[in-house]
Structure 1
Amino acid sequence: MPATAGNLTHDLRGHGFDVGVVDSGTSLLATPVQADLVLLALDLPDLDGLEVCRRLRARSRVPIIGVSARDSELDRVLGLQAGLDDYLTGPVRPSELIAVVDAVLRRVRRPVVEPAVDTETVLHGSLHIDLRAREVRVGGRRVAVTPKEFDLLALLASEPGAVFARRRIMSEVWRDSSGRGTRTIDTHVRTLRAKLGAHSWVVNVPGIGFRLGGQ
């Protein structure tokens, strides 16, 4: 995707970002991760883009935004399960690109839940959320979640039993007060349930939103 990479690089640099470019999955995996964010083309010439994402996620918490021409719900779910923080489909408009990059960087730099000095963990049955380390465990098993999945879970766990309206979730997790984003929330709930190992951890309250459940 040389042309696409060139366009995205031009747009990002035009908005003040310092951009480095590698031309293959192999080169990316061989490069030490020193960036604040990775924009990953999923249609790579040498390796499967989702496999590159999984390998990169296994050794780094750097936020990763996938870029692909494929726009099915399955493609998005597989991307999020592989460790993507967001998913863009081409052709990517400059305004959308910058908005998504800014939103992902804000989420990483400013957690939704700000722990008090004496409250750094949340325990809910077998669920253990470490707010400082941003780690999740279920029954002692570490669960690899993306920054957005962590923020969603931490928000629900901040008030166990409370029902969070979809508009509030979009506002606090995605910093989007427009009220849109049903598909985004549902996709992340689906991947989060799969990673936690049970549908019951995130309960859908029809017509309202979601609450933290149990197992």
Structure 2
Amino acid sequence: MAEENKTILVVDDEDRIRRLLKMYLEKENYTIEEAADGEAALNMAMNNDYDLILLDLMLPKMDGIDVAQALREEKNTPIMMLTAKGEEANRIQGLEVGADDYIVKPFSPREIVLRVSAILRRTQPESTKEADDLDVIKLPHLEVDNQAHRVLADGQQVNLTPKEYDLLLYLMSSPDQIFGREQLLREVWKYEFFGDLRTVDTHIKRLREKLSKKSPKAAKMIETVWGLGYKLNSCPPADDE
């Protein structure tokens, strides 16, 4: 059962979908607020601290992509995109602008509940893997202070979404170890029987981009191991020395 005092903003222009999500999520003791268009959603998200936002992609007044992009300039609130089946390019775009996950309509309410629970577990500071035991992880060019939830690249703070932070922390807690995409979905996103492997690729891409703005050397420490997955090198590549 969900912890109390978790508040979720449900954004969809269809009353039926909002009612369905509200019913299932309130059964898990979440507090639900609603918005029916993008402008209202962005205003509510900017003026309140939600634990999670369920955000439809196609909305009146302002679409979900624009809402997520504007919100990411100010806040790191976890976002789960709700998308129609034929909007693959838009789903990828949603991940690129900072959504933490997406689910395709028509969806199973049970799957929504499981994914919401997974995201909320991973975005609470006290529940971040066994790496909780590591208060500070330091590598050349990269440092994570797990107590403060702070990432430094060559001494400069890097602002990450909760899922980007979890992914980096997971990689840094086992440097030089190769992780497959399926394993990362299972351990970082906490599900294995659903999920798109491109979710991992998109988050790696965004993570590298954000690190590169502060330290190109830090960004290059995340290595793609072709055919296997990803790893974070304990030392920067030799050509960066």
- Judge same fold: TM > 0.5, yes or no: yes
1:111 corresponds, among 128, 144, 165, to: 128
The 3-state SS of whatever aligns with 2:31 is coil
TM-superposed deviation, 1:40: 1.4
The 3-state SS of whatever aligns with 2:61 is coil
What is the identity, as a one-letter code, of the residue corresponding to 1:114?
A
CA distance 1:168–1:5, change in 2 (3 Å): same
Q: Are 2:36 and 1:23 aligned?
A: yes
How is 1:38-57 mapped onto 2 (pairs within 5 angstroms)? 38-57=53-72
TM-superposed deviation, 1:212: 0.5
TM-superposed deviation, 1:21: 0.8
CA distance in 1, matches of 2:40, 2:196: 35
8 Å CA contact 2:83–2:91 kept in 1: the answer is no
Counterpart in 2 of 1:13? 26
CA distance in 2, matches of 1:134, 1:126: 17
The more displaced of 150-159 and 135-144 is 135-144
CA RMSD of aligned residues (A): 2.8
2:221 corresponds, among 172, 187, 201, to: 201
TM-superposed deviation, 1:104: 0.5
TM-superposed deviation, 1:69: 1.9
CA distance in 1, matches of 2:76, 2:63: 20
CA distance 1:196–1:11, change in 2 (3 Å): same
Aligned pair count? 213
TM-superposed deviation, 1:68: 2.1
- Aligned residues with identical type, % of pairs: 32
Q: Are 2:188 and 1:173 aligned?
A: yes
Counterpart in 1 of 2:6? none
CA distance 1:142–1:82, change in 2 (3 Å): farther
Counterpart in 1 of 2:137? 122
TM-superposed deviation, 1:177: 5.2
Counterpart in 2 of 1:97? 112
Structure 1: 5+ residue stretches without partners: none
8 Å CA contact 1:77–1:191 kept in 2: the answer is no
The C-alpha deviation readout for 1:133-153, integer Å capped at 9, x for no partner, is: 223233344333222221111
8 Å CA contact 1:157–1:212 kept in 2: the answer is yes
CA distance in 2, matches of 1:72, 1:127: 36
